[in-house]
């Protein structure tokens, strides 16, 4: 009996030992979670440094066009995308950008848009590979019976070096949009400038890499240009629609 009782007591001690171990483990996990939540809260309370990633700000800025001029638009010509000297890498994706611009304009703009091979051929005849001037724009519009011209210029295009999770050199993109009528100056302008930052420059951006509507990780330059197209055309159509509201 004494021997059996000793065995039972040993078993009970072993059971209590395991139970105590698991309780300590669970307590440690809960404590770790609380510390993490507290740290995140403290981080939110800190003032953002000057080097905060621009993905937390709006990279798209647009001017407000005249309502009268927007109401009078009937047919817009989509000029071939122009690539500046600081964005020569974008030439590798030019056909994709022009195709995307054409697709978005036809899907979102409430007026007729003209683009494609004939437009590009005529543009090359008029001004080749240089940036079009006032006379070039007028001639191009008149060639296709348009009353306006949307000009897209990529001024910066630095592709990301590395993966979405670990970029050695993040993407830098700058795109400018200008809407011309028969006037010398544009009636509407928009700029999209996105400068991603490496985690070593701003550790507070770690959580933003894995959350938000733009998706996780470091952005790629081609995708950023496409996003700028969506925003620019969407903003232009939004202002055009608002021009009919008195």
What's the pTM? 0.70
Rounded distance, CA 161 to CA 226, Å? 19
CA distances from 109 to 138, 191, 243 (A): 21, 19, 14
Contact 190, 68 (CB under 8 A): no
Q: Burial, 122: exposed, middle or buried (Cβ in 10 Å; 0-12, 13-18, 19+)?
A: middle
> pLDDT, tens digit, for every residue of 200-224?
554 444 444 444 434 556 678 999 9
Strands of the chain (E only): list them. 60-62, 75-78, 82-83, 112-114, 148-158, 161-162, 167-169, 172-180, 188-195
Rounded distance, CA 108 to CA 52, Å? 33
**Helix or strand or coil: residue 155?**
strand
Question: Would strands 112-114 and 188-195 be described as parallel, antiparallel, or unpaired?
Answer: unpaired
Tell which phi-psi region holds residue 212, choosing left (phi > 0), alpha (psi between -120 and 50) or beta: left
Rounded distance, CA 152 to CA 10, Å? 81
Helical axes 134-143 vs 117-127, angle rounded to 10°: 140
Compute how many other C-beta atoms are within 10 angstroms of the C-beta atom of residue 105. Answer: 22
DSSP 189: E
pLDDT on residue 111:
97
Rounded distance, CA 17 to CA 175, Å? 66
Give the residue ranges of the chain where pLDDT is below 50: 2-10, 15, 35-56, 167, 202-214
Q: List all residues 6 or more positions away from 78 whose beta carbon is below 8 Å from its beta carbon.
A: 98, 101, 102, 105, 113, 114, 115, 119, 149, 150, 152
pLDDT on residue 165:
53
Structure tokens at 87: 């964005």
């Amino acid at each position: 009996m004494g021997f059996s009782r000793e065995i039972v007591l040993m078993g009970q001690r072993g059971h209590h030992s395991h139970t105590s171990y698991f309780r300590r483990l669970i307590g440690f996990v809960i404590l770790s979670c609380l510390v993490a939540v507290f740290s995140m809260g403290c981080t939110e309370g800190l003032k953002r440094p000057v080097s905060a990633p621009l993905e937390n700000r709006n990279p798209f800025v647009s001017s407000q066009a005249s309502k009268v001029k927007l109401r009078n638009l009937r047919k817009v010509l989509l000029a071939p995308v122009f690539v500046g000297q600081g964005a020569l890498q974008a030439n590798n994706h030019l056909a994709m950008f022009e195709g995307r611009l054409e697709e978005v304009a036809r899907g979102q703009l409430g007026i007729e848009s003209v683009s494609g091979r004939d437009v590009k051929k005529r543009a090359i005849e008029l001004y080749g590979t240089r940036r079009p001037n006032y006379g070039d724009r007028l001639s191009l519009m008149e060639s296709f019976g348009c009353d306006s011209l949307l000009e897209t210029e990529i001024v910066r295009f630095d592709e990301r070096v590395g993966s979405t999770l670990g970029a050695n050199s993040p993407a830098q993109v700058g795109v400018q949009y200008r809407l011309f009528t028969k006037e010398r100056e544009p009636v509407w302008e928009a700029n999209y400038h996105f400068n991603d930052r490496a985690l070593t420059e701003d550790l507070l951006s770690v959580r933003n890499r894995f959350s938000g509507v733009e998706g996780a990780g470091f952005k790629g330059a081609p995708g950023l240009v496409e996003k700028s197209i969506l925003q620019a055309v969407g903003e232009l159509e939004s202002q055009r629609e608002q021009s009919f509201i008195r």
